[in-house]
């Protein structure tokens, strides 16, 4: 399903990232989850799933979306799609066609160490800043609560968080939800929300956090058309 989107800018960003990174194949990187549009809400995850020897290509320039055509590539993707569909108040995957999703960096790098992660985020920063200013989100949802602060520091900004809502994480507790004021020097201050990593979503998270996300972010979800 081809939707109204800026495919020219997608191709341009992809070309410039290839030139800057030296990468030539999407086996090694991925930038977009779906067609690029302006949106009041943006989701940011850590980095693309898969490895150069094991990955799924979704034709985003042909209108496909990682959370629709690529939904069954792994548990994180399936759970992320489920969470966003709940926010949209829909059981139809097409409700996600226009949802904007990016990553803190674009390289497929399972098991990456912190030094390499810092380098990858520095590499992606100018492209992410450009895309943020094109998409113009009013709120950003982060898959993984720690991702808010990591992203803020990588972009020279700050994240001021409220009290977290906690829940079970095996024998311990984890931050299930926290609301932030995200201040970025190359973009305006926006609301940000950090949640329990989608790969670990459980019944308690669904019962506790899904209604909050629906209340906060539901009105910002884009139309599928």
CATH number at residue 30: 3.40.470
Report residue 74's pLDDT band, with 50, 70 and 90 as the boundaries.
confident
Contact 192, 139 (CB under 8 A): yes
Q: What is the pLDDT of residues 75-96, one digit of tens each?
A: 888 999 999 999 999 999 999 9
H/E segment holding residue 90: none
pLDDT in the model for residue 50: 66
> Model pTM?
0.94
Residue 131 is assigned to a structural domain of this protein:
yes
Give residue 26's pLDDT.
86
Domain-embedded: residue 1: no
User: CA 211 to CA 217: how far, in whole Å?
Assistant: 10
- Rounded CA gap, 24 and 27, in Å? 9
Q: Report pLDDT digits (tens) over 101-130.
A: 999 999 987 667 878 899 999 999 999 999
Q: How far apart are CA 191 and CA 124, in angstroms?
A: 22
Give tens-digit pLDDT for 27-69.
889 999 999 999 999 999 998 876 666 677 789 999 999 999 9
The pLDDT of residue 224 is 46
Residue 183 lies in a domain: yes
Q: What is the mean pLDDT of residues 12-39?
A: 95
225 in a structural domain: no
Query: Does residue 2 fall inside a structural domain?
Result: no
Q: Is residue 211 part of a domain?
A: yes
Residue that has been written with the tokens 């884009």 in this structure: 222
The answer to whether position 83 is within a domain reads yes
Mean of pLDDT values over 15-24:
96
23 has a pLDDT exceeding 80: yes
Alpha-carbon dihedral sign for residues 95, 217, 152, 39: positive
| Per-residue pLDDT, 27 | 86
Residue 61 lies in a domain: yes
Residue 225: pLDDT band (50, 70, 90) is very low
Quote the number of domains for the chain.
1
Buried b vs exposed e over 55-93: b needs ≥16 C-beta within 10 Å?
beebebeebbbbbbbbbebeebbbbbbbbbbbbbeeeeb
Domain range for 126: 7-220
Over residues 155-169, the pLDDT tens digits come to 999 999 999 999 999
Percent of the chain with pLDDT over 70: 95
């Amino acid at each position: 399903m081809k939707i109204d989107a800026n495919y020219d800018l997608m191709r341009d960003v992809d070309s410039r990232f290839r030139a800057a990174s030296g990468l030539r194949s999407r086996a090694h990187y991925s930038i977009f989850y779906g067609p690029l549009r302006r949106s009041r809400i943006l989701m940011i995850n850590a980095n693309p799933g898969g490895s150069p020897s094991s990955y799924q290509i979704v034709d985003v320039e042909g209108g496909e979306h990682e959370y629709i055509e690529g939904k069954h590539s792994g548990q994180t993707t399936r759970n992320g799609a489920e969470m966003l569909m709940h926010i949209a108040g829909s059981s139809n995957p097409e409700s996600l066609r226009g949802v904007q999703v990016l990553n803190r960096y674009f390289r497929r790098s399972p098991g990456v160490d912190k030094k390499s992660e810092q380098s990858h985020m520095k590499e992606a920063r100018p492209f992410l800043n450009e895309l943020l200013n094109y998409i113009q989100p009013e709120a950003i949802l982060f898959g993984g609560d720690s991702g808010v602060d990591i992203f803020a520091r990588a972009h020279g900004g700050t994240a001021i968080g409220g009290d977290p809502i906690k829940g079970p994480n095996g024998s311990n507790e984890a931050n299930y939800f926290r609301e932030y004021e995200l201040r970025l020097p190359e973009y305006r201050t926006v609301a940000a929300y950090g949640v329990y990593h989608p790969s670990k979503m459980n019944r308690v998270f669904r019962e506790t956090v899904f209604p909050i996300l629906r209340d906060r972010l539901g009105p910002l979800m884009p139309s599928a058309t």
